[in-house]
Every structure is written in structure tokens, then in C-alpha cells.
Amino acid sequence: MAVKDLFPLSEEHQMIRQAARDFAQNEINPIAAEYDEAGIFPMKTIKKMGEMGFMGIEVPEAYGGAGMDTLAYVLALEEICKADASHGTIMSVNNSLYCSGLLNFGSETQKERFLRPVAEGKAIGAYSLTEPMSGSDAGTMRSRAVRNGDSYLINGRKSWVTSGPVANFIVVFAMTQPEKKHRGVTAFLIETDKPGFIRGKMEPKLGIRASATSEIVFEDYCAPMDCRLGEEGDGFKIAMSVLDAGRIGIAAQSLGIAEAAYEASLAYAREREAFGQKIGQFQGIGFQLADMKTRIEASRLLVYNAALAKERWKTTGERFTLEASMAKLFASETAMFVTHAAVQIHGGIGYSKELPVERYFRDAKITEIYEGTSEIQRLVIARQELGLR
Ligand SMILES: Cc1cc2nc3c(=O)[nH]c(=O)nc-3n(C[C@H](O)[C@H](O)[C@H](O)COP(=O)(O)OP(=O)(O)OC[C@H]3O[C@@H](n4cnc5c(N)ncnc54)[C@H](O)[C@@H]3O)c2cc1C
């Protein structure tokens, strides 16, 4: 049975994949290199993606989203990332880190106010857990939120916020009870046009350069009580639960990058000649292509499997942490493996900015780092298997 037959796609799934593919190839592909080089946020295409429903795919129509399932999200994201991983990063943070947290933990009033505009693509959402001194070990964050009557005063510095320079709303995590460590973290919905919110330094990056990443700073930012997401002390649970969803998105992003690099390599191996034959006829090149293809198809199985596990969770409540981490770990390492081989197969031109292969290589690296490094994924998988929570 072919891999594609294990996941027969409904007409709706095929339609969203085709719509994403057409948009990605016609509108994103032609501008991707230019925006990467300049490091400019692609506002125009992101707005169009919002109009097409790509910025809130799993959000019910009642809250302004496309009302589709996780497999639809994964299929669309894969196609967008095949053209440009930067667009994919922005789309994935909006969908799985911002919208999914609000959908699962927000009150009705919060959904109306903070979810609807982002799901409709009229505003941009972000997620801010990391700080300069805490990444993987998020429970040691230093940002503080101190209760002050009917509101909280937030102070601190958060780092590496995807879409931080452009976001209208950000889910931010801060300590309300530092002595409780990770059990003392609380989540807040931040409006970036309010006093006390400051956009900090931009992060100059190796890859996904068209996605904007910055620090954000809070100086006596006043968050009213109705902007607290969940209960006091629920923040860490919310952050981790949202990351489970996010990791499926990053796995789909990895798959898209790897596919783009593989297809370019296959085409090049068929046409480039050396020593009187096509380079694809050298066993050394053929074997590389075989390994690339096999790892991509294995990744696809894990990614779609994780999407279906998340879909089941909506009715059974059974967590999909293991499936999400396995998909993210394997697909991201595959993206790195495949893009590394792709540059090699292309030889000198693979190292040139005249072709997108070097961009795929630079973009692939981030998938092994954000939303939990590969080491953290291995830790999560081992803990799940050993029954250590
Ligand atoms: C481009 C980009 C965009 C990002 N976007 C966001 C965003 O939108 N929101 C957000 O909150 N964060 C974001 N991040 C932050 C990202 O999630 C963190 O960088 C990541 O989680 C790693 O944290 P760290 O950088 O502090 O590394 P550290 O946690 O300091 O890790 C350093 C090294 O130690 C290893 N390590 C740490 N703990 C263990 C352990 N227990 N066992 C084995 N090895 C370990 C790590 O795997 C890594 O190799 C982004 C980062 C980048 C680069």
C-alpha cells in the first residue's frame, strides 16, 4: 500500500491543499527570495492568506475561522512551506500557538475580542514564553505579573517572539507566584497598542528571515483581570498544551521544506551531467535521493498521524503529546538531512543565492530548535514512554 493511500483525503482536504498549493506557487514562490534577502515581513501575502482562511484554519466559523480540521491545517501549511518557510512560520504561530490557546482556554468574551480578528486574518497573533535567560527551562522565567486590585502589573523582557514586531495581540506568560516555579506561571492576553508594551530589538537570523522576530518589553503594563487566560497558575499547563499543537505545525513545516529541497534535487540529478552522464546515474547520488525520499515519506506518516491524533483528542480528550513530539523530532531532522544533501547534490550552484536550495538549508535548521529543541522532544518522548510526567 502506498503511503498516500494510508491517509485517503476527503474532497475538502484535497481542495484546501490545492488552494494552498496554487497560492504558494503563484504568489509566494516568486517573492520568497527577495523577502528573505531583505528580511522584510511579507504583510501583503499574509493579509491575502488571512482572506483565504489560512490564518485560522481550525477555528470554528462561529469565531471567524475556516472551521476545518487538523489534517486540513497540516496539508495547507506543508504547501505554504514548500514555497517559503517564513510565510509558514507566521501562519503556524498564528494558527497553532495563538488561536489554538484561545480556542481551548479562552472565555466566550475573550474569543470574541481576541480570537475573531486574528482568525479572520484582520489582526496578527503571537505567543511569548521564551526569555533571554530561559528557553527550554521555561519554569525559570523572570517576568513578573503582580496583582493590583482588578488588574495585573506586568514587568519583564521576553525574547524570540515570532511576529513580535507586527503582532496586534500576544499570549504572554509571566510569573505570578515565583516560589511555585512552573506552577506559578499565568497566561495573559496582551494588546500591543497599550502603554507599557514596548517592541524590543529585532533578532537577526540565519533563516526564516522574512518572519519578523524580536524581543518585547513590559514596563508596568496593566493587564485587566478579563485579559487573564485561564486561572492564575494555569500558565505552564496552557503553554505546554499549546506547544503540543504547535509541534504538529512545525513538523508540517519541516515536511514542506524537505519536499521542496528533494524535488529540486531530483530535477537537478536528472539534468546535470558530469563525466559523460547524468549525475543521477552515479550510485552515490542515487543513494542520497533514495534516503531523502524514504525519510520524507516516513515523516509524512508521522505528521499526518499526529494530525489525526489531535483530531481524535477533540472528542476523546486523549492527549497527543507523544505523536506531536515524534512527528516534530523526525520531520525536523529529516528537513535538515534532506536540505544538507540537496546543497551537496547541487554542487557549487547549491551554495548560490541564484537557487532556493541554500535558503531551504538555512530555513530547515530552525525546525530543530523552536517549539522545543530535538533534545527536548527526545525528553518528552522518553518521559511519555516511561510513564514519567
Ligand atoms: C527564529 C526563532 C523563533 C522563535 N519564536 C518563538 C516564539 O514565537 N515564542 C517563544 O516563546 N519562543 C520562540 N523561540 C524560542 C525557542 O523556542 C527557544 O530558542 C528554544 O525553545 C530553545 O531555548 P533556548 O534558546 O533558551 O536554548 P536553551 O534552552 O538554553 O538550550 C541550549 C541547548 O541545551 C539543550 N538543552 C536544554 N535543556 C536540556 C535538557 N534537559 N536535556 C538535554 N539538552 C538540553 C538544548 O536542546 C539546546 O541544545 C524562537 C526561537 C527562534 C530561534
Q: Could you give the CA distance from residue 1 to residue 239 in angstroms, rounded to a whole number? A: 38
What are the cell numbers at 74?
497540516
Q: Is the CB of 355 under 6 A from ligand 1?
A: no
Distance CA 88, CA 85 (A): 5
234 to 32, 228, 229, 241, 367: CA distances (angstroms): 39, 10, 8, 11, 27
C-beta 160 within 6 A of ligand 1? yes
Spatial separation of the C-alpha atoms in residues 149 and 327, rounded to whole Å: 44
The response to whether residue 132 sits with its C-beta less than 6 Å from ligand 1 reads: no
Start-to-end CA distance of the chain, whole Å, equals 37
Distance 137 CA to ligand 1 centre (A): 8
* Under 8 Å between Cβ of 70 and 248: yes
Q: 161-211: per-residue pLDDT in tens? A: 999 999 999 999 999 999 999 999 999 999 999 999 999 999 999 999 999
Give which of 277, 291, 278, 276 is closest to 342, Cα–Cα: 291
**How many whole angstroms separate alpha carbon 43 and alpha carbon 95?**
16
Nearest CA-CA partner of 172 in 239, 116, 114: 239
Q: What is the pLDDT of residue 3?
A: 63
Give me the amino acid identity at 374: S
* Ordered alpha helix ranges (H), the chain: 3-6, 11-23, 29-38, 43-51, 70-83, 85-92, 100-105, 108-110, 116-119, 235-271, 283-316, 321-346, 357-366, 374-386
Summarised one tens digit per residue, pLDDT across range 300-331 is 999 999 999 999 999 999 999 999 999 999 99
Task: Output the residue whose Cα is nearest ligand 1's atom 31.
Answer: 136
* Ligand 1 mean position, distance from CA 166 (Å): 22
Q: According to the model, what pLDDT value does residue 1 have?
A: 54
Count of CB atoms within 10 A of residue 136's CB? 11
Residue 346 CB less than 6 A away from ligand 1: no
Residue 84 Cα to ligand 1 middle (Å): 22
- Decide whether any atom of ligand 1 lies within 6 Å of the 247 Cβ: no
Q: Which residue from 141, 143, 160 has its CB within 8 A of the most atoms of ligand 1, so it is best to mutate?
A: 160
Q: What angle do CA 260, 56, 374 make, to 5 degrees?
A: 50
Beta-strand pair 125-128/169-175: parallel
pTM over 0.85: yes
Which of these, 235, 34, 256, 255, lies nearest to 138 by C-alpha position? 235
pLDDT at 2: 60
CB atoms within 10 A of CB 61: 12
To 10 degrees, the CA torsion angle through 138, 139, 140, 141? 60
Nearest CA among 367, 331, 362 for reference residue 259: 331
CA distance 94 to 79: 16
Distance of CA 367 to the CA centre of its chain: 8
Ligand 1 binding pocket mutation candidate from 370, 371, 377, 380 (most atoms within 8 A of CB): 370
What ligand 1 atom has the least distance to the C-alpha of 369? Answer: 20
In degrees and rounded to multiples of 5, residue 122 shows phi and psi of -90, -15
Residue nearest to atom 37 of ligand 1 (CA): 136
Q: Which atom of ligand 1 is nearest to the CA of 173?
A: 11
Give the pLDDT of the chain (389 residues) as one tens digit per residue.
566 667 789 999 999 999 999 999 999 999 999 999 999 999 999 999 999 999 999 999 999 999 999 999 999 999 999 999 999 999 999 999 999 999 999 999 999 999 999 999 999 999 999 999 999 999 999 999 999 999 999 999 999 999 999 999 999 999 999 999 999 999 999 999 999 999 999 999 999 999 999 999 999 999 999 999 999 999 999 999 999 999 999 999 999 999 999 999 999 999 999 999 999 999 999 999 999 999 999 999 999 999 999 999 999 999 999 999 999 999 999 999 999 999 999 999 999 999 999 999 999 999 999 999 999 999 999 999 999 97
Task: List residues with catalytic annotation.
Answer: 371
127 lines ligand 1 (CB under 6 A): yes
* Residue 2, C-alpha cell as written in the block: 502506498
Shortest-distance Cα residue to atom 42 of ligand 1: 375
* Distance (Å, whole) CA 329 – CA 89: 17
